[in-house]
Structure 1
């Protein structure tokens, strides 16, 4: 098994990869974190204890995996690349608390985690991942829309994504991802991560982001309506909220009536609405649909 020193040494990583004729693939966002302090910050942000179960997406060479295995009762890791999966098998084959999967995460059945939980007999599920850019948004939405009651999610993402996740209404970074995540839970930027701590170094800096889900039964019931409203509002950012809402409400008159009842100016743009206003629109649509 590799030591943490080897995991964080670009020279040794190059040697390990060369021995296996493996080259990092830019198309899959294969930039390996080589800084022990940042690895600790990610693991610390997850606030793990031995009763926790962790889902890790894209473990790569396993630097973060090693940290998670030390702290959590069970780690379920999903790796798409066959070459990296083989390396992970070599390094962690004897780890009793690791369940390693060779699969595209977007095709991974999250329902399988229930079986892993029963077998492990441990507690809360948390997500920890150095997310490749090309699947960042769909992967996060897949997790949020699942039936699993996550205790926390900690992601290492590109800086621009972190800015979108924590943006304020009216700004250029504010969008569908911002609204949906901040309705789902409390989102915070934990720490910046410079591009120099990766091998190979990417073009941009990154950041560690933590999401603490809000335990509210209404969230699950309202989510489909909120999703429709948000997608309509940000599908064409120059549309007024009235024009955007008509596709969801059925027609402009119905949309106008909902906006009037909530005191929302129909001439506003979607990107000026805050999370509470989006939730109010979703709630009004749900109540309308539930009437006999």
Structure 2
């Protein structure tokens, strides 16, 4: 089998699976992307240019990694499956633009949710230059990863993430939608959300039960004035703690004093029976300012 065939092609993926006795691990949410059009679409959506610095999460057997490298990126990858680094080192191009693979690609066996980005990548990336994140996220931890990236102290120029279609819909949801919630608000206070492309379930091996979407998140040039982001997100989550209940009911644990709750509802200019999904981000900011931080 020639390595001139892209890793992300079904025939090359199957050859790698056979050669290394690879099995997609359900507990790690592994589904190998075998749609070259989708892979190149992700690279294009991320706007990858020569010498871009890219953090990849969960490179798998390297179908996306390969195309990021060929597009000129320098890639630092987080992976939790210790069987994959050997495959990546063997299957990725040995040289990119006459440079050895080791100068363009580094993999760290570590859960990205435990990442200390500045410490992990400090000897590989130049912090004075832009850093992008590109990832095919495991479905089962998509939301925690997005929260972690949004709240990271490392300033990314963009996040290009493939995720379950339903999660993507939550990211771009607007007030009044059933998809609107803490994840929506956390991301939209920090990032502009753009749906880049849809990827059907037939584009994966093994085939998942759901379709996927690729979303590009870019930092807002002007962010809402939030004094304490962690406190703000905590308040938002509490407001949505019982989604079917009214805002007034969900506020009881935050503001046991009814007079205070009435004062807040009046300040918001809403009806007491309004539900949290009908509030704007600006109204949630008012709520967070009204409720003292713990």
Q: TM-score, normalised by structure 1?
A: 0.89
Of the candidates 181, 200, 218, which is equivalent to residue 206 of structure 2?
A: 200
Cα distance change on mapping 1:104 and 1:2 into 2, 3 Å = farther
Q: Which residue number in structure 1 is paired with residue 97 of structure 2?
A: none
* Rounded Cα–Cα distance in structure 2 between residues aligned with 1:283 and 1:220: 8
* Rounded Cα–Cα distance in structure 2 between residues aligned with 1:98 and 1:120: 14
| 1:73/1:122 contact within 8 Å kept | no
Q: CA deviation at 1:284?
A: 3.6
Q: Which residue number in structure 2 is paired with residue 50 of structure 1?
A: 50
Gaps of 5+ in 2: 95-99
Deviations along 1:150-202, one digit per CA (max 9) or x if unpaired, are 11111111111111111222222222111211111111211111111111111
Q: CA deviation at 1:121?
A: 6.6
1:152 to 2:169 alignment: no
Q: Which residue number in structure 1 is paired with residue 109 of structure 2?
A: 102
SS in 1 for 2:270: coil
* Rounded Cα–Cα distance in structure 2 between residues aligned with 1:229 and 1:177: 13
Cα distance change on mapping 1:145 and 1:4 into 2, 3 Å = farther
* Rounded Cα–Cα distance in structure 1 between residues aligned with 2:145 and 2:225: 19
Aligned-CA RMSD value = 2.5
Cα distance change on mapping 1:189 and 1:83 into 2, 3 Å = same
Q: CA deviation at 1:250?
A: 5.5
Mean Cα deviation higher: 227-236 or 163-172: 163-172
- The 5 A counterparts of 1:208-227 are 208-216=214-222, 221-227=227-233
Deviations along 1:43-81, one digit per CA (max 9) or x if unpaired, are 111112234321110011111111222335521101111
Q: Which residue number in structure 2 is paired with residue 176 of structure 1?
A: 182
Tell me which protein shows more helix as a share of its residues.
Answer: 1
Paired residues in the alignment total 287
* Rounded Cα–Cα distance in structure 2 between residues aligned with 1:2 and 1:174: 47
Q: Which residue number in structure 2 is paired with residue 15 of structure 1?
A: 15
Q: TM-score, normalised by structure 2?
A: 0.88
Q: Which residue number in structure 2 is paired with residue 33 of structure 1?
A: 33
| 1:51/1:124 contact within 8 Å kept | no
Mean Cα deviation higher: 204-213 or 94-103: 94-103
* Rounded Cα–Cα distance in structure 2 between residues aligned with 1:100 and 1:164: 31
* Rounded Cα–Cα distance in structure 2 between residues aligned with 1:20 and 1:250: 60
Cα distance change on mapping 1:113 and 1:216 into 2, 3 Å = farther
Q: Which residue number in structure 2 is paired with residue 239 of structure 1?
A: 245
Cα distance change on mapping 1:67 and 1:15 into 2, 3 Å = closer
Q: Which residue number in structure 1 is paired with residue 131 of structure 2?
A: 125
| 1:53/1:122 contact within 8 Å kept | no
Mean Cα deviation higher: 59-68 or 248-257: 248-257
* Rounded Cα–Cα distance in structure 2 between residues aligned with 1:251 and 1:68: 55
Deviations along 1:54-110, one digit per CA (max 9) or x if unpaired, are 111001111111122233552110111111222112234741121211122222222
| 1:152/1:210 contact within 8 Å kept | yes
SS in 2 for 1:172: coil
| 2:3/2:91 contact within 8 Å kept | no
| 1:76/1:100 contact within 8 Å kept | yes
